[in-house]
Chain A
Amino acid sequence: MARRAVPLVLLATGLALGLASVAVGRAHPGWWFAGESDAASALALLAGLGLIAAGVAAWQRHPASRFGPLLGMVGVAWFLPEWNNPEIGSPLAFSAGSAFVAACPPLVAHAALAYPGGRLRSPVERVVVGLAYVACLGLVGVLSVALFDPVAEGCAQCPQNLLLVSAHGDLAHDLQRAGLQLGPLWAALVLAFAARRVAGGSVAERRLILPVLIPAGAYLVAVAWSFQHSAGRGFLGNDSLDQFLWAAQAVTLCLLAGGASWEWVRNRRTRSALAALVVDLETSPGPGGLRAALAERLGDPSLDLLHELSNGRLIDAAGLGRTPNPAQQLTPLVSEGRTLAVAAHRPGLFDDVGLGQELASAARLALDNDRLQAELRAQLEDLRASRARIVEAGDAERRRLERDLHDGAQQRLVALGLSIGLAIAQQGGRDPGLERAQLELRELLAELRELAHGIYPVALAEEGLGAAVEVLVEQSRVALRLERPLPEERLDPQVESAAYLVIREMVRDERRSWSSVDARREGDRLVLEVAGDGGVPDEFVLLEDRVGAVGGGLELGAAAQGVTRLRLELPCG
């Protein structure tokens, strides 16, 4: 209840203040910028009330941001100068009106630079905004009023100045003039800061801040002009240029109220988009479909739907690890205390309090589904990667073993054979023991060579698939026909060895009388059609594993007339 009551009370108070202020002005039109014009009066009322309403609404939406209260205070401050009316009759109202006669401009500067977070971004900005407050509230307002006795200065009908400390009319005029003269200076600085923010902001940020910064800037230009004009005269006046500039301020403040509400309008549209999205989700989207639907409905093509794994890694719907774009903002979508997903989106998209929560509860099922699928895919991907690593490690180990046998054992046996040969030659005579040793050594070497080759063919490592298959053909009893030459270029070692092993399994089976290989590249895939008479290779499942580990596929074609056909697809990007 209280949450609803407070804004209503504030709005009612603002309305009362506005109506009272306009009533004061209209009762004494000679002192009022609007004069006798109904339209100008309505404009003044609209500007102040609009700002108060926009401020209250912004405060409701973002309670943590000071922007809403600041905007509301701009609206109040807009009404206060009317109370400076000499014929108002009330000393309290007259004194307050005099003190806050120029309170509106520094508040606008403050609010504009603090939009939308509610805080100024740098010490320099704070100094400039502080200067504006000092000049307008201090010099033009409180200090001048404290030294100014209106009755003594010849304003017979003026009420008593309750803030008067000591009457120093000339000093009061000087202080007020100085405060007015400072106007163009700080206004220019504020405009420069605003321009820098626009220039440095992203497209999304600009879309957010320009509706506020443009009217605020225009307002400050009008204020600076008016101050310049009044400084020449020494006090705030009411000639025709003053009236024109006042009207310009009223219009720009109306626009400012509208600009500040624009964010709300956009969020409303986002919300209705959300409603439409929930309808869309009735037909459950495929993987990534939820992201696409959200991106379209919320009008942010860059929007990404990510899921956090228990190890802190972020993945997308396809299960792939993702690092969010630093230009994007991350919003956890939480429903009932559970984070369903993390949305990466353009800054400000979810600024509206509760939008993320609404989305989370509206699309909970779909988000849950998206997350489960993503996790599943991530696990599959992890599994595939670990399979690939195991195969790779196995291959590396076999390669090392082959090299050890070859460069170590084999070389030493050859050297040993040489020594034996030398001993035989030196002995001259026949030593049957040596001769036998030599024979056995030769057999040992032959066996060792076959063993090493079986562990890992050197040609595969050194020259690739084509050479390895050539060697394979030479040592096998099963004829192998190449329908076309194997690819000459080197491929990924894992891919080469997977293709090699499939061909070897077909050729190794001596129950066959023939086999054939048709290899070709199809885009970034290497496709091998391997055929032969006789049955499916015994190690088919192992081959499947091996091929799957490198992200390829091995399919068994329809057997016809005793011919086995394998179709092998491997990535070769």
Chain B
Amino acid sequence: MRVAIADDEVLMREGLSRLLAEAGLEVVATAGDPKELIRRVGLTRPDVAIVDIKMPPTHTDEGLVAAQQLRDLHPDLGILVLSHYLDSRYAMRLLDDLPDGAGYLLKERVSDVAVLVDALGRVHEGECVVDPTIVSRLMSRRQDTGPLAELTPREREVLALMAEGYTNQTIRERLFLSSKTVEAHVRQIFLKLDLREAPEQHHRVSAVLAFLRDAQG
């Protein structure tokens, strides 16, 4: 897998490059700001780009803007946004803009090379990735009342994995379930939460996340 890295901190760029190289990935481009990133991606055509959400000039959401621009230029490019924002607003925005092949991870995940490589792989495959911490925070509030309370523990597990962007196939593998069971769980969850079942995988992530965000206890 060929990777491009954009981060305005040199230490971060270099460390990440070495870490990914260690894990057997090929880092083909690094950049310190969105403009340079777009230029280098155009030159080197990587499979995925790791983009820090905070970059010059305002250090707020330049990474999200760059992600959108990259996707317009290179529809097949997987994009993984690294963020320090724990709340789900930016993750929602990313998934609304880029419904597939995009991921949103907290920045400290870079220390866990397995998680990082897994996320890059999924994004490359066109799946969505949402940081588990964000999902668990959303799920952990107001468990005692409302529709969420009606879910069984197993259904809650499945719901969390759906929100993290996993497909039925991976959920099955992770929870050691049959594909039929997984499908039944998913149907149950959508029924209990009164959600219309989204036919497509990526819309499912957005829908679940939006539900979790708006759920009023």
Which A residues have a C-beta under 8 Å from some C-beta of B?
A: 406, 410-411, 413-415, 417-422, 424-426, 438, 441-442, 445-446, 449, 453, 458-459, 462, 467, 470-471, 474-479, 481, 513-514
Contact = CB atoms under 8 A, between A and B. Distances in A.
Contacts of A417: 108, 110-111
A418 B87 contact: no
A413 B86 CA distance: 16
Interface string B1-42: 000000001011001101100110000000000000000000
B141 A477 contact: yes
Given A474-B137, A475-B137, A418 B23 contact: no
B174 interface: no
A382 B178 CA distance: 73
Q: Which of A449, A459, A478 has the most CB of B within 10 A?
A: A449
Given A422-B19, A424-B113, 6 more contacts: A418-B19, A425-B113, A438-B112, A458-B85, A475-B86, A479-B217
Interface string B125-169: 000000001000110011001000000000000000000000000
Contacts of A478: 217
Interface size class of B (residues with CB under 8 A): 20 to 34
Interface of A, helix, strand, loop or mixed by DSSP: helix
Interface of B: 9, 11-12, 15-16, 18-19, 22-23, 60, 84-89, 107-108, 110-113, 133, 137-138, 141-142, 145, 213, 216-217
Nearest to B24: A425
B216 A481 contact: yes
Contacts of A424: 113
Contacts of B87: 459, 470-471, 474-475
Contacts, number: 84
A416 to B, nearest CB: 8
Shortest 9 CB-CB contacts between residues of A and residues of B:
A417-B111, A418-B15, A421-B111, A425-B22, A479-B217, A471-B87, A479-B216, A477-B141, A445-B108
21 contacts: A406-B84, A411-B9, A414-B12, A414-B110, A418-B110, A419-B15, A421-B19, A421-B112, A421-B113, A424-B113, A438-B112, A441-B108, A442-B108, A449-B84, A458-B85, A462-B60, A474-B88, A474-B138, A475-B141, A477-B141, A514-B216
A475 B86 CA distance: 9
Contacts of B18: 422
B9 to A, nearest CB: 7
Given A414-B110, A470-B89, A477 B142 contact: yes
A449 B86 contact: yes
Contacts of B89: 459, 467, 470-471, 474
A418 B11 CA distance: 9
A422 B213 contact: no
